A and B are shown apart, each in its own frame.
Chain A
Amino acid sequence: MTALAAFSEAVSIVFSWPTPIWVVIGLTLGMIAGALPGIGSSLGMAIVLPLTLPLGPINAIILLVSMYSGAMYGGSISAILVNVPGTGGAAATTFDGYPMAKRGRAVDALSMSATASATAGFMSVLTLLLISPILIEVVLLFGSPEYFLMAILGLSMITIVAEGSIIKGLIAGAAGLLVTTVGIAPNSPELRYTFGSLGLYDGIDFIAALIGMFALAEMLKLAGQEGGIADADIDLSGNTFSGVRETFSHPLQVIKSGYVGMFIGAIPGAGATVSNFLAYGEAMRSSDNPDRFGDGEPLGVISSEASNNGTIGGSLIPTISFGIPGSGSTAVLLGGLLMHGLRPGPQLFETDLQITYAFLVALLLGNIFIILIGVLLVTRLAKLTQVDTHVLIPMILVLSMVGGYTLRSNWVDVITVLALGFLGYIMVRKNYSIIAFVLGVVLGPIAEENLLRSLQISGGSYEIFVTKPLSLLITAGIFVILLGPYVKPALERRLT
């Protein structure tokens, strides 16, 4: 199927009933999850995953990508109104969004956020669509050794991007991979770590792991905090259209921040949490009046919000091409793809190309809806920031437990939710990368299958990972990434 034919089929899929309604539902759910401090896109998407079981793969993934997109905007609502970012990607929005709200320009800031998010999101997805023919060529160059190495490269990237020691990141990633070895081994009938329990024959379900790590761990953390921000004053004054106008009067800032987001989003582990700070810093550096930043400067809101939605297009590149999610949300998205039988890599660029394009077209459509829903529902969504956390926690726990059991009607999944929830809670508190662990859980089966297949091809020799130029390049990349932080200071000392 040619790219053009696939694109035209994708357009007809997205615009045929009831797909557009899933886009709207996904965006609205995403905005709600994003606006609720402590919930965010990964958690919201993780608890919705089991509910997508009765949907077809296309509608299920469209619902999830729309949630991802909506949550990026939703995170700015609480950041602007109550100075608490709904998602990590909206942290820099608080610097100028909250001061703007305090000066009676809350609606201006919110509409700026919606416009910048939608414009940059649209732009980054459009760019992804335009570069997809090149991406297809690159993806088709990859074989089993390269896919295994890409999985290791993705995990290595996360260990150096995440805060805290590299060893902690490596342990987290490897522990995630180890969890996936429970059950029947790939390419052989060996039963591993099942202890004679039938419930463990199919292994640990990665969706249950995602729910435990994102939902339960987060709820345990949230339970220990004050019971919400119900008493915070919210003054919804300002003008919607002046915010939209102001955003469009700074097109270069939107484009620049959007592409900063897209570039950072393509790096596994970085995501919107990093990109919004980088884009904000860059906007401040290039401004004629950097002193205004932090005191209600509209460019601060525009740059931060354009960058976080810009990451969406970028983070989809490694996710759909190599099965390496760039963030927690894309890890859940990858979980959704696998759950619905869609395998990242060549399949999504050859036989299922129209499905890949359908996600991207749905995201383009979603970005148009963001402005409409964001501007129209802003006063309703603002109320969400006042919801008490003790109202949310029991509901999220019910959704997590029931959702976990629903996956396979297997109590092992409920135990997985609980055990990994507790583990995740301590990991978050002690600065171990949850994203690395989750990535390990999602990538484990893909990595092991490709490792074993590569070794079968080479007759058991590990040389296969360095003989071809592409695999040699990736292997070298892994060593540079892992050894760089140790070697760089020594080199700098020697040079000075």
Chain B
Amino acid sequence: MSSKSLYRRLSEGFNQEQFLLLVFVIGSGAALVETFRFNISSAARFPRLTGTVVFVGALLLLFSRYLPKTLRTAVEESGGVFEADEEFERRQQEVEERQQVEDEPTETKLIETDRSEISTVGRPIHDSVFTGLAATGYAALGFAVGLLWATPIFVFAYGYWFKLPRYLTAVLAIVGFMIAFGFMSVLGVPLDRGQLLVTGGVF
């Protein structure tokens, strides 16, 4: 199995909502347990109230398919205070359909791209996944050597991945560096200092 098809299988099998609910259940559960270790009881009151809402709500959603029908309907109930009336919805649909017909060539092209590729630039992983990884790498590099120096490296990596023209990537890297330098100069924040390297700073 190639790495691309392995990635596809993994990403298709990953249920984002269940992951989110698990984060809520584990996070709020741990927060609730921790409140019993607080020395001052009043400090536990608010985290217990909010933690209970998150914990119970996330559990209900996580196991909604096993709930009795009445309870499941209640869990999935939508507020829908500002629902548009039928006439408005019908008109809105008409307008959207008409505009879709007028813009058909562009729309068709976009849909085809979405179906055949997981990345808009033909890369083997989703663009959002790369952006998330790049942002994490940027923060980690910034921690190590200082955000000022990590900025152009991050912008170059981003530009290379998304196949931006070289001159544009260079311009963006310079602009990014200038933004970081501007923050450092105006607000006096030591962005040129890392925690592992360049610890004494340059400027």
A residues contacting B by CB (< 8 A) are: 50-51, 53-54, 83, 94-95, 98-99, 102, 159-171, 174-175, 177-178, 181, 185, 187-190, 192-193, 216, 219-221, 223-227, 264, 270, 274, 277-278, 280-281, 284-285, 290, 293-295, 390-391, 393-395, 397-399, 401-403, 405-406, 409, 411, 414-415, 417-418, 421-423, 425-427, 429-430, 432, 440, 447-448, 451-452, 455, 485-486
A270 to B83, CA, bound (A): 12
Chain A to chain B contacts (Cβ below 8 Å), 13 pairs: A54-B187, A165-B77, A174-B54, A181-B50, A187-B42, A220-B128, A227-B121, A227-B162, A264-B82, A398-B155, A406-B189, A421-B132, A485-B77
Main secondary structure of the interface of B (DSSP, over half): helix
Add 13 more A-B contacts to A163-B78, A397-B135, A452-B46 (CB < 8 A): A177-B50, A178-B50, A190-B40, A220-B132, A220-B135, A223-B130, A284-B88, A390-B159, A394-B159, A398-B155, A402-B147, A402-B191, A432-B20
A290 to B95, CA, bound (A): 13
In the complex, the answer to whether B16 meets A430 with C-beta atoms within 8 Å is: yes
In the complex, the answer to whether A401 meets B138 with C-beta atoms within 8 Å is: yes
A391 to B155, CA, bound (A): 10
Residues of A within 8 A of B87 (CB): 284-285
Selected from A95, A98, A280, A402, the residue in CB contact (under 8 A) with B183 is A402
Most buried by B among A192, A411, A423: A192
| Size category of the binding interface on chain B | 35 or more
B172 at the interface (CB under 8 A from A): yes
**Chain B 31-43: CB-based contact to A (< 8 A → 1; otherwise 0):** 1001000111011
Selected from B17, B31, B142, B158, the residue in CB contact (under 8 A) with A193 is B31
Main secondary structure of the interface of A (DSSP, over half): helix
A284 to B92, CA, bound (A): 11
Residues of A within 8 A of B16 (CB): 426, 429-430
What 6 A-B pairs come out closest when comparing CB atoms? Answer: A160-B79, A294-B95, A190-B43, A185-B43, A174-B53, A223-B131
Q: Which residue of A lies closest to B28 (CB)?
A: A178
A192 to B37, CA, bound (A): 10
Selected from A270, A403, A422, the residue in CB contact (under 8 A) with B132 is A422
Q: Given A394-B158, A395-B175, A165 and B38 touching (CB < 8 A)?
A: no
In the complex, the answer to whether A223 meets B17 with C-beta atoms within 8 Å is: no
A53 to B187, CA, bound (A): 8
Residues from 32 to 78 in B contacting A, C-beta threshold 8 Å: 34, 38-40, 42-43, 45-47, 50-51, 53-54, 57-58, 60-61, 74-78
Selected from B84, B94, B138, B183, the residue in CB contact (under 8 A) with A294 is B94
Selected from A163, A164, A224, A415, the residue in CB contact (under 8 A) with B128 is A224
Q: How far is the CB of B104 from chain A (nearest CB, A)?
A: 13
